Every structure is written in C-alpha cells, then in structure tokens.
Amino acid sequence: MNTVGHFINGKMIAEENQTQPVYNPATGEVTKQVALASTKTIDQAIAAAKSAFPKWSKTPPIKRTKIMFKFRELLIENADEICRLIGEEHGKIIHDARGELQRGIENVEYACGAPELLKGEHSRNVGTDIDSWSEFHPLGVVAGITPFNFPVMVPLWMFPMAIVCGNTFVLKPSERDPSAIMFVAKLLQEAGLPNGVFNIVNGDKTSVDAILHHSDIEAVSFVGSTPIAEYIYTTASAQGKRCQALGGAKNHAIVMPDADLDNVVTSLLGAAFGSSGERCMALSVAVAVGDDTADKIIASLKPAIEKLRIGIHSDEDNDFGPVITGAHKSKILGHIQSALDQGAELVIDGSKAAPAGYEEGFFVGPTLIDRVTKKMDSYKAEIFGPVLQVIRVQTMEEAVQLINEHEYGNGTCIYTRDGEAARYFIDNIQVGMVGVNIPLPVPIASQSFGGWKRSLFGDLSIYGPDGVRFFTRRKTITQRWPSAKLREEKQFSMPT
C-alpha cells in the first residue's frame, strides 16, 4: 500500500515507523497510509528551512515573485489532478474542489504583488536634514498547521505570502487528506523554488508539539477547531513565537420578514450543505424573525432539500459528498439526536442517507431541524456537518443579541430588502465577517479573513494585508548625514 511521506529540502521522504490510514470517505476503504513524523524528522525539516533562509531572504522580491507567477500557472495547468486528489481523500464534489483551488490561486495572485506590498513608508526631512523610513523584513523559519476541510486552499492562504516575504516555511497539513498538498509541493519545486524554502511534514499531535516548541520556528499560523486553536496560540505564545490561530464557528443567517424568500432558500441550501457543511463559514443556523417567516422558510426549504443529491466526488451532478471519517459522522449524528432529545423538531432526517453502492461510506444527508433554542447543546456546538437548524425570534434586536451572545464570532449574514435594517445589523453585530444578502461573506484575497471572539486567537487575521504584516517585522530607520559646517550642541532633553 502506498505511503505518503514528507517533502523536505526538495525531496520526498517516507522514512517513518509509524503510519496512519488514509480513507476514501465515499467508500470507507483505506486507500493508503500517511507517515507520522518523528521529532527527528521535524528537526530535519526545520534545519533545511533554516539553512535556506539566509540566501532566500536576500533574494530580491521581484525574483521571488517570478517563481510565484510560474507556480500559479502550474496550479491552473494541473487543476484536474489536484481536484481529483482532494475528492478522493476529502470527498468533496469536483466542482467544489475547483472552487477551493480557485480561492487558493487568488491568494497566490495577491502574493505576486510582493514588490508593491513590501514597500515601506518614507518621510523626508522629519527634522533638519533628517530622513525616516520603514522596511519590512522576513521573520525566518515560519510554520503552518492546516485542517482537513480545505487541504489545498488553506495552505495557499499561508505559504505563498510567507515565501514572497522572504521567509522559509514548514507546513504540517492534515493527516486525513495529505496527497493533494504533496502534489502541490512538487509544482512549487517545478516553478523554481530553491530546496529547503518550502517543506512538508505529515504527522499528528507529536509533530504539532515539536513545531510549537522548536526554538528555530519564529511564527505559527493555524486554522482548525477552537479548542486546538486556543492550545496552539497559548503554547506558541508561551514560547515567544508570533501566532495567529483561527478557530471554530457557529454562523447565523438572520432572515427578516421582507427578505426575498427564493434567494434565501437558494442561498441557505449551498451555504448550509455545500462541502457537507465542513466549512468554518458554513451557515448552520437560520434565525427567522417571526413565526410566519420561519414557517415560510421551512415550507420552502423542505422540498428543495429533498431534491439534493449526495454521492461520490467524481459525479458533478452530486451536490455534496461524505464527511471526512466514520468518527466524524458519528459525532454529527450525536448532535442531531441531542437536539431531538432536548425538544427540537426534526423536519428532514439525513442520518440514514447513503447512495446506492456506497453504503459503507461516511455519508450524512441534508438535515433540517426546527424550533432549536439557544440552550440546546447542538446549538452551542460547531456541528461541522450538513445540518441546518432554525431558531425562531420575534424581533431583529433579539436576533442580533442571540448572535452576539454566542462564543463564536466568525461569519454571519442578514437577508433583507431594508437598508436601515442592514445598516443596524452591520453596526451592531459582533462578528468578524458580515454579509448582507450574501451567505458566505468570505473576503477576497486582497482583504483579510478572520473572526472575532473565540473564532480567532491573535492580533492579525489571515492572508491579505494582515498576511503581509504577520509574516514580516517592521524596521524603522532615522538617518542624518551631518554637515561639516553645522555641529549640534549637546542635548540632554528628549529630541523633538
């Protein structure tokens, strides 16, 4: 059986004693093994990155960018293979995988602006014959720890920007679907990136801890669940490292009585069930303002949901595929049962859904639950599956308060035709990414992605302008060349 190893110093390495199975989630079958890196292997990857840093950091940004331009071309040329690998190990349908890859490519394109992005500020004559300016310098060896749900896009949020800023990079991707990003590493090498600048180590918590405690790692970027994000941030910060750790979410959509109901239903279908709900920006709660609004939503959603198709990644007629593992499927089903046990109403039950011929796969069908309350465990938790819950409130103010009280603050949206209501929502909601009649308000590559509250640990969001700041440090220089004709008197007070 094939074993996915590591990519260190430009070479594929599969020298590990400990491995873990990789599944095809549509069939439930083990298709390959992934090597779990030892501390020795982690040290080897970091040493390669450290050795490559001095030369790479001195490489002009425009030369770094030329490699990134070529890398972009190779990603586009090899999109079919990348998406196939994503589908086989994650399970997302090929059209969804294409969307993931395109979002990642957009971040590569933004990173191609490095010569402009890394320009500092300059102030002439801040004092007599004194000039002052700032420069942005790379940090050194930096690391990324990424989740299973976007095995290519999330790494592309991190390492292209880190690399064009002059850093070298060690990536620890999810061990559940490692093959696509390993293929991407070959493309980066083909684009001309020097050996050691980008490295991949596959592994589990042992690998994560080795990265967090290694003295040569200057910064850590993480995307995953909130408990792990908090652990990553706390541990990395205690080691004196810069850290951004993006956590979980419970994204709400407020539906006002005046909303375009057809638009609401179409939006909710894709935002709640796309990618099997395994998105940190998935809309998992519809907050209906008024019982009449809720009844109309349920009546329209029910027949639409019943038409959705689940199945294998290679059939583009399918709307979404399986969830990542059997254990995750059991967790989702537990949340559904918990909601029912605590008094919610099951409108559509997806717990027993499985396409013909794939009964052993990790499938959960689209599930709709009504009359959920904020006290229910299923509401408090990030289900991370194809489950849409409906909460009924009587006023918009009540809906906003409900969202603001939740521990997560990643994404949210409102459906309305009322500009005043939209403005009130934007001004008062305590969430990092906000949509108005847009279900998944994921910022474009030239903005930055990040939530509030327990959805983000750290001061800087990921990618965009915050990505530049995260992977660089500012140096400010103040300079004067004194004239032979002009000598300063001694000065003991603060210079002004």
pLDDT per residue as tens digits for the range 436-489: 999 999 999 999 999 999 999 999 999 999 999 999 999 999 999 877 666 667
Q: Report helix, strand and coil shares of the chain as percent, to nearest 5.
A: 40, 25, 35
Confidence of residue 233 (pLDDT cuts 50, 70, 90): very high
How many Å apart are CA 250 and CA 197, to the nearest integer?
Answer: 36
pLDDT digits (tens, 9 = 90+) for 133-192: 999 999 999 999 999 999 999 999 999 999 999 999 999 999 999 999 999 999 999 999
The CA distances from residue 187 to 46, 69, 79, 129, 483, in Å, are 21, 12, 11, 50, 54
How many Å apart are CA 187 and CA 203, to the nearest integer?
Answer: 22
Q: Measure the N-to-C terminal CA separation of the chain; round to a whole number of Å.
A: 70
How many Å apart are CA 42 and CA 199, to the nearest integer?
Answer: 10
Average of per-residue pLDDT across 57-69: 97
> Are 259 and 310 within one domain?
yes
Q: Angle CA(256)–CA(258)–CA(262) in degrees, nearest 5?
A: 90
Catalytic residues: 280
Residue 63 has pLDDT above 80, yes or no: yes
Predicted local confidence at residue 485, as pLDDT: 66
CB 406 within 8 A of CB 431: no
Give 195's DSSP letter.
Answer: T
CB 82 within 8 A of CB 105: no
CB 391 within 8 A of CB 379: yes
> Are 80 and 205 within one domain?
yes
Within-domain flag for 351: yes
Q: Which two tokens stand for residue 232?
A: 């990553």
pLDDT digits (tens, 9 = 90+) for 179-212: 999 999 999 999 999 999 999 999 999 999 999 9
> Are 240 and 262 within one domain?
no
> Are 86 and 220 within one domain?
yes
Within-domain flag for 348: yes
> Are 161 and 225 within one domain?
yes
> Are 11 and 117 within one domain?
yes
Within-domain flag for 447: no
Nearest partner of 7 among 184, 164, 192, judged by Cα: 184
> Are 52 and 36 within one domain?
yes
Helices (H), ranges, 370-413: 377-380, 396-405
Question: At 109, is the secondary structure helix, strand, or coil?
Answer: helix
Q: Considering only 13-17, 73-77, 329-333, which range has the smallest mean pLDDT?
A: 13-17
The CA distances from residue 91 to 3, 100, 118, 300, 326, in Å, are 19, 13, 38, 28, 13
Nearest partner of 301 among 335, 347, 344, 256, judged by Cα: 347
Predicted local confidence at residue 487, as pLDDT: 65
Nearest partner of 139 among 267, 250, 53, judged by Cα: 53
> Are 257 and 158 within one domain?
no
Question: Does the CA dihedral 136-139-140-143 come out positive or negative?
Answer: negative
How many Å apart are CA 37 and CA 142, to the nearest integer?
Answer: 18
How many Å apart are CA 100 and CA 335, to the nearest integer?
Answer: 27
Q: Which residues pair with 389 in a beta bridge?
A: 285, 369
User: Structurally, how many domains does the chain consist of?
Assistant: 2
How many Å apart are CA 21 and CA 28, to the nearest integer?
Answer: 11
Within-domain flag for 482: no
Among the three residues 383, 405, 436, which one is the final residue of a domain in this structure?
Answer: 436
CB 202 within 8 A of CB 34: yes
How many Å apart are CA 229 and CA 243, to the nearest integer?
Answer: 10
> Are 261 and 295 within one domain?
yes
* Domain assignment of residue 57, given as a range: 3-247+455-477
Within-domain flag for 220: yes
What is the pTM for the complete model shown? 0.95
How many Å apart are CA 57 and CA 197, to the nearest integer?
Answer: 10
Q: Which two tokens stand for residue 258?
A: 């005046």
Residue 337 has pLDDT above 90, yes or no: yes
- At 353, phi and psi to the nearest 5? -75, 135
Predicted local confidence at residue 492, as pLDDT: 76
How many Å apart are CA 321 and CA 363, to the nearest integer?
Answer: 7
How many other C-beta atoms are found inside a 10 Å radius of the C-beta of residue 218? 19
Predicted local confidence at residue 48, as pLDDT: 98
Confidence of residue 127 (pLDDT cuts 50, 70, 90): confident
Question: Does the CA dihedral 490-493-494-496 come out positive or negative?
Answer: negative
pLDDT, averaged across the chain? 96
Print burial letters for 43-61: b (CB count within 10 Å at least 16), e (below 16).
ebbbbbbbebbeebbeeeb
Q: Angle CA(177)–CA(181)–CA(183) in degrees, nearest 5?
A: 115
Within-domain flag for 486: no
Nearest partner of 248 among 422, 485, 456, judged by Cα: 456
Within-domain flag for 203: yes
Confidence of residue 415 (pLDDT cuts 50, 70, 90): very high
How many Å apart are CA 246 and CA 233, to the nearest integer?
Answer: 9
pLDDT digits (tens, 9 = 90+) for 252-282: 999 999 999 999 999 999 999 999 999 999 9
CATH of the domain at 44: 3.40.605.10
> Are 192 and 335 within one domain?
no
Q: Angle CA(105)–CA(108)–CA(110) in degrees, nearest 5?
A: 115
Predicted local confidence at residue 50, as pLDDT: 98
- Residue that the structure tokens 């405690």 belong to: 213
Length of the chain measured in residues: 496
Nearest partner of 142 among 152, 155, 126, judged by Cα: 155
How many Å apart are CA 54 and CA 166, to the nearest integer?
Answer: 9
Nearest partner of 366 among 315, 435, 438, 318, judged by Cα: 318
> Are 229 and 273 within one domain?
no
CATH of the domain at 352: 3.40.309.10
Within-domain flag for 441: no
> Are 35 and 165 within one domain?
yes
Predicted local confidence at residue 242, as pLDDT: 97
